[in-house]
Structure 1
Amino acid sequence: MKSVTAPTARLARHAALAGSLALLPLTVACGGIGDDEASPDGRKSKSPAISAQQAQVVAPAKVEVIAGLTGCEVKIRVDADELREGICHTKDGDYLITTFPEEKYQQTWLDSISPYQGTYLVGTRWVVSAQPKMLNRFRTKLGGDVVHVTGTGPTAAPSAS
């Protein structure tokens, strides 16, 4: 005869696992240095102190989290259902950080930039647009892949017709 408690216990374990996995992003996102806390070197910090590995756990990372990892205070310029985009102004140069709530929105965005030339750092539902030298430095902090877009749009040369 089969025990009735075995499926119930298994269901309870699955529910507990699902609940703890659902809380993991909140735990990681809330950790780190707050506005009033000093970093180990004594400086005050407004950006969260988390690692790239932790940022990937919360994927898609928030614009503010990526900005903190790259060392800037971001100014949000687009806050839409399909994407969030922020701009960073630093002494080394300006760059954009774009995050997407779903993979399909990121793919649409990547498809839409194909007519233009550029180099981008592409991660899990996020993209950083900057000068290649900055992207290589960011890659060590954020992960992702450096993607070169060669441009497939119309040329300026007249056609031979």
Structure 2
Amino acid sequence: MDRSAPFASARRAAVVGSLVILPLATACGGDEDKAVKAVTPSKMSAAPSAGVVAPAKVEVIAGLTGCKATIRVDADELRQGLCHTEKADYLITTFPEEQYKEAWLDAASVYGGKYLVGLRWVVSAKPEMLDSFRDQLGGTVKQLRGMGPTPSA
């Protein structure tokens, strides 16, 4: 009777298991710093005072705007944090993929309004605050058209 047979099958199972888990672990490793460094600054929106390149986490964007965000939504498609300051309350939403941001903006267009939009993130704030946030974060201020009646001229 070969006593090494149970150990050989256990080793085989361990190798197969690690081969299955390795791609998942590296794909979800969260090593965003390397991904951000790989993008050339010319392809990113400017962030003059922040000196940072998005995509970033809700907490990072919140820190750059001077608040500590309270996470309201933590889902596969997005993370959203609420910032409460003396000037105003505002939302920071980040997305794991650009396509999720685009879908979110499509849905938000029903309501209209202005948003600061960057690579995989959106800041929802009073329109007068968006320019100062843009100076800190970069991005583009976008006007979304709402659905429904418009005021008569």
- Counterpart of 2:51 in 1: which secondary structure? helix
1:124 counterpart = 2:119: yes
Check 1:140–1:155 CA distance in 2 against 1; reply closer, same or farther (3 A cut).
Answer: same
Which residue of 51, 54, 71 maps to 1:53? Answer: 51
- Provide runs of 4+ in structure 1 moved above 6 Å: none
Check 1:156–1:83 CA distance in 2 against 1; reply closer, same or farther (3 A cut).
Answer: same
Name the structure 1 match of 2:79. 84
1:154 counterpart = 2:152: no
Q: Which gives a bigger RCO, structure 1 or 2 (Cα 8 Å, sep 6+)? A: 2
Which residue of 101, 105, 110 maps to 1:106? Answer: 101
Q: What is the aligned-residue identity percentage?
A: 61
- Where do 5+ consecutive residues of structure 2 fail to align? 1-29, 37-48
Distance across 2 between alignment mates of 1:60 and 1:82: 14
- Counterpart of 1:128 in 2: which secondary structure? strand
Q: Please list the CA deviations of residues 54-108 of structure 1 after superposition, one character each: whole Å capped at 9, or x if unmatched.
A: 3x1xx32000000000000110000000000000010000000000000110000
- Counterpart of 1:53 in 2: which secondary structure? coil
- Where do 5+ consecutive residues of structure 1 fail to align? 1-21, 29-50
Shift of 1:52: 3.1
Check 1:111–1:69 CA distance in 2 against 1; reply closer, same or farther (3 A cut).
Answer: same
- Counterpart of 2:123 in 1: which secondary structure? strand
Shift of 1:115: 1.1
Aligned residues: 109
- Counterpart of 2:93 in 1: which secondary structure? strand
Name the structure 1 match of 2:33. 25
TM-score by length of 2: 0.65
Shift of 1:114: 1.1
Shift of 1:155: 3.3
Check 1:156–1:52 CA distance in 2 against 1; reply closer, same or farther (3 A cut).
Answer: closer
CA RMSD of aligned residues (A): 2.3
Shift of 1:53: 3.2
Distance across 1 between alignment mates of 2:148 and 2:31: 48
